[in-house]
Structure 1
Amino acid sequence: MSMTFRLCSALLAILLPSLRAEEPSVRGQREFVLKYQVTLGEVSSPVQVWLPEPVSDEWQRVTLLSSNSPVPPKSGRESRYGNSMTWYDIREATGNIYLSRSWRIVRKEVKTQSSNKSHIAGEDLKAFLQPGKLVPITGRPLELLEGVALPEEPYGVARLLYDRVDEHVNYDKSQPGYGNGDTLWVCDSRTGNCTDFHSLFLSLARSQKIPARFEIGFPLPVASSGVIPGYHCWAAFHDQSRGWVPVDISEADKHPEMKEYYFGSLTANRVRFSTGRDINLVPQQASEPLNYFVYPHVEEDGKVVPKSRIQLRVSFRNTFAD
């Protein structure tokens, strides 16, 4: 065996594993098992627990594999955005309570086509034109558009807004107040995470009469298995000829080389859990509407249980990648 051949073989042995690990980031589909485990500590009185439930749609297929809890779960679906959830009414329990659910999920890459006809009824679009508690559509956000000539077509306007948000905001989680999706805070701080980027986009799009919605779930690392440390969110706007067009501005900000891609496309490295902001649960929670719904909501004697008493572990394991 020649020295050259041996060197090439050695290099391939080193490089191939890393190349394989990166492959899911460019593939059009991922199949995996997702596990959502919740532990509630120091329970001494009746509690109610709401968990978000991922459901099948055009871009993901979800199959429940297992469910563990001290009481039978009940399913609910709120009417404003159509979010599904699982509710537990735990009357007799002390100490720690453990809940878990796992699903087999097939997630596809989202690629918007000009002929996409995924419209929803005009009446249903109204919810995606309204201001939210932290998402105003007048005032301070519109200062970002002063002196800017807007295109005539809504699709072109949305692209301009995508660029404007990316220019105005830096992905930076060092400032207190990030992650709440408070548009006014984002305008002033010019920093934030995915929630903050897309709240500003929602405000601007809706101010221009472009329906826009917020979506949230969990990102999938390129590894084949592991623990997912936190949520990820993105947005979509509605175009008459294209239907819902996704945008992921925070990922575009972190990966400028993919900025064109993330206007109209999403990788398969994610799963959607819910849509919208200011969410009321089913049955109705005692608290105010939830800012967003991706983590457990727990109430004890009608009062919200602090996050310090709720442990959540989200993990995944690839089963197939295409």
Structure 2
Amino acid sequence: AGARPGASATFEARHAFTVTPPAGAKDLRCWFAMPQQDPFQEVSVVRVTSPHPHRVVPDDQGNWFLYVEAKGPSIAPFEVVEEFGITRREVLTDVDPADTRPLFPGETRDMAAYLGSDAQVPVNEEFRKLALDITGGDRNPVSASRKLYDWTLKNVEYWVKYPDRLKASPVGSAEYCLASKTGNCTDFHSLWTALARSAGIPTRMVYGSFFKKSLDGKDADQSYHCWIEFWAPGIGWIVHDVAVADLFVGDFALNDGNREKVVLTTAAGYEKGDPAMVDYYFGNIDARRVVWHRGRDLVLEGASAPVNMLAKAWIEADGKPLKEKEGWTRKLTFREETR
């Protein structure tokens, strides 16, 4: 039992940020997402170009970010660039309920950080009741998680299927996703996390980006993506991506209004539904992605408040957050290395 590496892929990536400080700003603090080292992600030296001093800093959850600080009576717009090579390995897990058991009380205490609420992921009576209804009180973390996975596939629609009438929340909200029955990857996985934690299953969200096959070598941003890791005794952390799996249910038609969005919401493209891929994404994830961080409500030294998620950047001018596209932009581009 436990996760093991599968196929691998190697990429050369350029992660560029353009920062446009507001007029009169005197203190600019910037935290930029950077690739993490983990057993399934080998990162070569990150080369940083910045006109201002920079260093790598931690948050409170074991992640690392590139930090740039600029001071002065008048801070001009500037660019920060990270260039790195990365080899990602597919994550494969045999998800057999027979390989695990319900958590012991001591394990529940040890996993408390992955069982409580986040700002957009409440663990409360509403979610506990729904989780109980879905799982039937099943305390095996693998079989209960699969029931939550299947319920989500049946009851929530990825917004890109019907972009003319569905939309995502701007913050990744479990409550929005439950009420509207739609959303993007962060909405899907916030809802799943709220239900799983409410059922006593330790869960964390992973933020990253796809290296989208159709954008290889192109001057086009990869946006961001997120997925799930839940913990089961005897197995460890188990991945799943119920948001992408929802596309492979195949309960919608591709058309001129959704085709581009659907294709760019997957790692390697989309043609039609595939039940095998629905099963694959419970316990496995493809190699065409990069991990930026794990967790929500990140505490960064010097930031004005906990950060909901940091899959791109968090920038403050004189203690006030700057919005993406207004105060900064980001572009992640890549080229796949062939052997």
- Deviation at residue 126 of structure 1 after TM alignment: 1.9
For residue 171 of structure 2, give the secondary structure of its aligned residue in structure 1.
coil
DSSP 3-state at the match of 2:111: helix
Q: Identify if the C-alpha distance between structure 1 residues 247 and 114 changes in structure 2 by more than 3 Å, giving closer, same or farther.
A: closer
**Corresponding residue for residue 316 of structure 1:** 334
* Corresponding residue SS for 2:291: strand
1:232-251 equivalences under 5 Å are 232-251=225-244
Partner Cα separation in structure 2 for residue 234 and residue 88 of structure 1: 28
In structure 2, what is the equivalent of residue 33 of structure 1? Answer: 12
Would the aligned equivalents of 1:179 and 1:196 in 2 still touch at CA under 8 Å? no
Query: Which residue identity lines up with residue 87 of structure 1 in the other structure?
Result: Y
Structure 1 distance, partners of 2:57, 2:133, is 47
Under a length normalisation based on structure 1, what TM-score does the superposition of the two structures give? 0.83
CA distance in 1 between partners of 2:35 and 2:111 (Å): 22
2:158 is equivalent to residue 171 of structure 1? yes
Give the share of equivalent positions with the same residue, in percent.
28
Q: Which residue pairs with 1:138 in the alignment?
A: 124
- 1:15-52 per-residue CA deviation (whole Å, 9 max, x = no partner) reads xxxxxxxxxxxx81110011111111245433111112
Q: Which of residues 23, 42, 49 is equivalent to 1:68?
A: 49
Partner residue, 1:290: 307
Give the alignment partner of residue 279 of structure 2, picking from 240, 257, 260: 260
Is the 2:34–2:292 Cα contact (8 Å) retained in structure 1? yes
Deviation at 1:99, TM superposition (A): 0.6
Question: Which structure has the larger Rg over C-alpha atoms?
Answer: 1
Instruction: In structure 1, list runs of 5 or more residues that go unmatched.
Output: 1-26
Are the aligned partners of 2:117 and 2:194 in contact in 1 as well (CA < 8 Å)? yes
Does the residue aligned with 2:153 lie in a helix, a strand or coil?
A: helix
Q: Are 1:105 and 2:86 an aligned pair?
A: yes
Aligned AA for 1:255?
F
Contact 2:11 2:335 in 1 (8 A): yes
The C-alpha deviation readout for 1:145-196, integer Å capped at 9, x for no partner, is: 4644243422110111111111111001544552422111111100001001
The CA distance in 2 between the partners of 1:184 and 1:303, in whole Å, is 26
Residue 143 of structure 1, CA deviation: 4.8
* Contact map agreement 2:185 2:225 (CA 8 A) in 1: yes
Cα distance, 1:275 vs structure 2: 0.5
For residue 95 of structure 1, report the CA deviation from its aligned partner. Answer: 2.5
Aligned to 1:155: 142
CA distance in structure 2 between the partners assigned to 1:53 and 1:40 by the alignment: 16
The C-alpha deviation readout for 1:59-108, integer Å capped at 9, x for no partner, is: 100122421001221111123x2010111111145321111111110000
Quick one: structure 1 residues 42 and 48, their matched pair in 2 at CA, closer, same or farther if it must change by over 3 Å?
closer
**Alignment match, 1:221:** 212
Secondary structure of the residue aligned to 1:55 is coil
When the two structures are aligned, how many residues end up with a matched partner?
A: 289
Amino acid at match of 1:195: T
Tell me how far 1:263 sits from its aligned partner. 0.3
The two structures have a TM-score, normalised by structure 2, of 0.79
Question: Structure 1 pair 63/271, CA: closer, same or farther in 2 (3 Å)?
Answer: same
Q: For 1:103, what is the secondary structure of its paired residue?
A: strand
Measure, in 2, the Cα distance between the counterparts of 1:50 and 1:65.
15
Is residue 141–residue 184 contact of structure 1 (8 Å, CA) maintained in 2? no
RMSD of equivalent CA atoms = 2.3
Amino acid across the alignment from 2:159:
D
Distance 1:54 1:48 in 2: 20
One-letter amino acid of the counterpart of residue 166, structure 1: L
